[in-house]
Amino acid sequence: MFVRHGAATAARVASGKVGNAIARSWTTPQIRQLHLSPMSRVPDTLASRSFHKTSSRRSQPALAEVEEEQPPDSSNPALSFPCLDAQEARTAALNRRSLNSGPEPSYTTGRHRSWHSHAPLLLDWGGILPQFSVAYENWGRLNEDKSNAILLHTGLSASSHAHSTEANPKPGWWEKFIGPGAPLDTNKYFIICTNVIGGCYGSTGPSSIDPADGQNYATRFPILTMEDMVRAQFRLLDAFGIEKLYASVGSSMGGMQSLAAGVLFPERVSKIVSVSGCARSHPYSIAMRHTQRQVLMMDPNWQRGFYYNGIPPHAGMKLAREIATVTYRSGPEWEQRFGRRRADPSQPPALCPDFLIETYLDHAGEKFCLEYDANSLLYVSKAMDLFDLGHEHQEQMYRLRLQNQSRSSPSQREGDKARSCSLALPDKPYEEQTAETSSKSVSEPVASNSMRPSEDLIKGLTPLRNHPALVMGVASDILFPAWQQSEIAETLRAAGNRSVTHVELGEDKSLFGHDTFLLDLEYIGGNIRSFLG
């Protein structure tokens, strides 16, 4: 390609001026080769206008015409943007896909089991799933009295594939933590892991078909809570005939669900394990998830959630994942891994990924952007934001559920549509309040130097006062800081629980931040093994 058209033309192709005209005939390796070419870093000045013209519907000019359109040389050559070229190339490739198969990925990680409920599920905020499916996988054997079951809860974007199975030998996300002699010992326990409702790995979520009209739910899918997800899981346990769990175990979002399972069904759970979780979401994590949702929803391909017959919002998903990845690890670890090293010090600086840390984030976004359904990210992350085990919030949701049960018929739900779609932005922007005028909320976090948690949270966790609990945190975690796990442990103790084990891994033990729960078999896994017995 470069020999035939010449270096100048190749540079303009790299800049995007004629990239759309000929990229359709290129293979992925050829596009990758162009991105890595030194010539792509030195395009002529025509590149500075290229991205304003790529969407034009007029026919693209011939290569000879492009040569004649060159403006006079400027003082400096224009920068190239291979990262944007890659985005445009992916969009073009998705656009060329057959409409019969659709551009969406399958949102699966291989074969899993599925349980389907024909009974409706009433959700906390008034939505109803007339029927729903729960994808799950299991390991070990259920004993005769069905007393050895452990329910394993996942993080935000994980599937039910926590460990390899005969049907799906691909390693799972907790592969080394499950198995004979492992922390979740399959010689002793029957382990069940589900994909949460709202997800996209087999359980009912926004990408699923609404039985009412045969179309994807999209953003007609109802708002979820952590408690909704747990109720769906316990419907699955009912199908197994499991009356009481040996333990509820989870990390990150799963740590939140593990606590919620005990609060909702205290008589059906024996032990609680919550790793890198919280008893209620706090402003920093809410802010980070809000930012991810905003960049995703601003992607023009998101189409307010109705993108299932078109191009998925891969650019927004990529950026959202990059933001999330920043919160998953720690600064000290990245200092060791990347420092200030650049990917190619021999090249001049670029505005696209240049430092090693930038290329790492870029890779994380690229890997994820077509693996997970964008709407699932919105709904599941919002459910995390809404999480609050404080007594006042639980009472509010209980009253709301009672009201919604009386409006559960199809005709009554039709009359509530206006009410459910009435959200409006406030008339005035947020204004800072002085300390004298601001009132203390029951949802404020426990101060790091506080000796006693809030009475609201103590009362909310009282159902767990008789449950042995393991609460683990990591000092290098910035998404779920270690003080939030301290809050859980101290609240449980204040509620009367005398069987609380609280472990905090200092930076001498782990620099992996929030992702420690996925990586640290020695300390995370070892403490879980000892606790379960």
DSSP letters along 106-122, please?
----S--EEEEE-S-EE
DSSP 8-state assignment for residue 522: I
Q: Three-state SS for 381?
A: helix
In this prediction, residues 506-519 reach a mean pLDDT of 90
| Dist CA 148 CA 136 (whole Å) | 17
| Terminal alpha carbon distance of the chain | 65
- Average predicted confidence (pLDDT) for the chain: 83
Residue of 124, 388, 477, 520 marked catalytic: 477
Would you say residue 59 has pLDDT above 90?
A: no
Contact between 241 and 146 (Cβ < 8 Å):
yes
Helix ranges (H only) for 16-129 are 19-22, 28-36, 63-68, 82-96
Report the candidate in 5, 79, 6 with the shortest Cα–Cα distance to residue 45.
Answer: 79
> Tell me, what's the pLDDT at 110?
79
Residue of 153, 282, 391, 514 marked catalytic: 514
> Tell me, what's the pLDDT at 156?
95
In this prediction, residues 133-151 reach a mean pLDDT of 97
| Dist CA 454 CA 394 (whole Å) | 15
| Dist CA 422 CA 383 (whole Å) | 20
Helix-then-strand count for the chain, H and E: 19, 14
Report the candidate in 375, 304, 362, 471 with the shortest Cα–Cα distance to residue 157.
Answer: 375
> Tell me, what's the pLDDT at 75?
76
DSSP 8-state assignment for residue 389: -
In this prediction, residues 184-202 reach a mean pLDDT of 97
Active site residue 373: no
Residue of 50, 252, 454, 476 marked catalytic: 252
Q: Three-state SS for 138?
A: strand
Would you say residue 39 has pLDDT above 80?
A: no
Select, from the ranges 68-72, 445-449, 454-458, the one with the highest average predicted confidence (pLDDT).
454-458
The pair phi, psi for residue 386, each rounded to 5°, is -80, -5
H or E, element range at 434? none
Q: What would the pLDDT profile of 307-347 be if each residue is shown by its tens digit?
A: 998 999 999 999 999 999 999 998 888 899 999 999 999 99
> Tell me, what's the pLDDT at 158?
94
Q: What would the pLDDT profile of 7-37 be if each residue is shown by its tens digit?
A: 343 343 334 333 333 333 333 333 333 333 3
Q: What would the pLDDT profile of 45-57 be if each residue is shown by its tens digit?
A: 333 333 333 333 3
What would the DSSP string read from start to end of 5-17?
HHHHHHHHHHHTT
Q: Which residues touch 1 (CB under 8 Å, ≥6 apart)?
A: 10, 13, 26, 30
Active site residue 520: no
- In angstroms, the Cα distances linking 428 to 314, 424, 425, 431, 432 are 33, 12, 9, 8, 12
What's the CA dihedral at 221, 227, 229, 234 to 10 degrees? -140
In this prediction, residues 157-170 reach a mean pLDDT of 94
Would you say residue 501 has pLDDT above 90?
A: yes
In this prediction, residues 239-245 reach a mean pLDDT of 98
Is residue 442 very low, low, confident or very high in pLDDT (cuts 50, 70, 90)? very low
Residue 187, Cβ neighbours under 10 Å: how many?
10
Active site residue 385: no
In this prediction, residues 462-478 reach a mean pLDDT of 96
Report the percent of the chain where pLDDT is more than 90.
67
> Tell me, what's the pLDDT at 57?
37
